Amino acid sequence: MTVSDRPIPTESEALDAYSQTVVSVAERVGPSVANLRVNRRTRAGSMPAGAGSGVALTADGFILTSAHVVAGPRRHGRAAFTDGRELGFTIVGSDPLSDLAVLRAEASDLTPARLGDAENLRVGQLVVAIGNPHGYAGSVTAGVVSALGRSLPARAGRTVRVIDNVIQTDASLNPGNSGGALVDNHGNVIGVNTAVAGVGLGLAVPINEYTRRVIGSLMTDGRVRRAWLGIAGGVRPLPPGARAELGNRTCVEVVEVIPGSPAELAGLRPEDLLVAVDGEPVEGVEDLQRLMVAERIGKRVELSVIRHGRPQSVDLVPVELDSRTG
């Protein structure tokens, strides 16, 4: 049989397994990803800006994006989808400390994406990024999870918070990808693309139990409430004796106590080693942040600390974090 006699391969035969997966994911999730434009005011007046990307959450118009994509005084914009529709949207809520925001478009028949769980990701796993880099709608890039557990600082006013468990990928990201979908091979959105960390390195805020709560709060309340102790601290290894007794390897050392804060009123001191909140272990700053939920605002909590080598309990009542003054 000559080359010319060979049968022409079918489309499915022509695509290898990798390509089939990427094509399938792009076809499934692409219709859910929007190109977002926010009108930003300049000295010359108002001008449209290609802000970034967003992912439809519900058929009735909720869209997930990055907080920095819609940052600024303007509360409205336009969302363009790959089917040619361009819809107006309003910002429902934005949380710079998680770099997530929720919008509401004027629609009742969007194609919602399916949220997954980044906790199940593994390094080396295939991921697909869908967004609008440089305003090019519906662009698709593929790569792998190159690292997990990265940290990304976020700021709101004077408050600085660390976004933990950030996903690092080598799927190509460019300006305009922010707010778009990072998708696993099953078509589940497991991250929101948020930053370009360098050539061949992109970062995404994970979809997990904590960020689902953030998204839910933004959808229902338009904001995220957090409890505040009033300390600044860092990770420190526990002394050997305490490590053996508690089972923790690390803790949070109190570096600074903010004047007038709940921590100062309760007698917390610099160099105290914070090991637990209401019995839940604290091994790093991210653990403490995760425990400072709205339900603890105004309620007594017990901090387990080690002071001068001795375990102690400190009771205090957290207040609500004001990110403008935090």
Residues facing 202 on adjacent strands: 169, 196
CA atoms within 13 A on the CB side of 237: 4
Set 68, 94, 139, 261: catalytic member = 68
**Given the residues 139, 178, 304, 323, the one annotated as active site:** 178
Structural contact between residues 134 and 175, judged by C-beta atoms closer than 8 angstroms: yes
Active-site residue among 53, 66, 95, 99?
Answer: 99
Angstrom distance (rounded) from CA 201 to CA 80: 27
Burial of 36 (0-12, 13-18, 19+ CB in 10 A): buried
Indicate if 186 belongs to the active site: no
Query: Is residue 89 within 8 Å of 78, Cβ to Cβ?
Result: yes
Distance CA 276, CA 247 (A): 12
Strand partners, 41: 46
Active site residue 108: no
Give φ, ψ of 28 to 5 degrees.
-80, -45
The percent of the chain in helix, strand and coil, each rounded to the nearest 5, is 20, 45, 35
Tell the residue number behind the tokens 């309760």, with chain if given.
266
Amino acid symbol at 97: L
Q: Which helix (H) or strand (E) holds 262?
A: helix 262-266
Closest CA to 308 of 242, 231, 259, 246: 242
Instruction: Of 95, 228, 203, 226, give the one whose Cα is nearest residue 152.
Output: 203
24 labelled catalytic: no
φ/ψ of 301, rounded to 5, equals -125, 155
Q: How far apart are CA 42 and CA 53, in angstroms?
A: 22
By annotation, the residues acting in catalysis are: 68, 99, 178
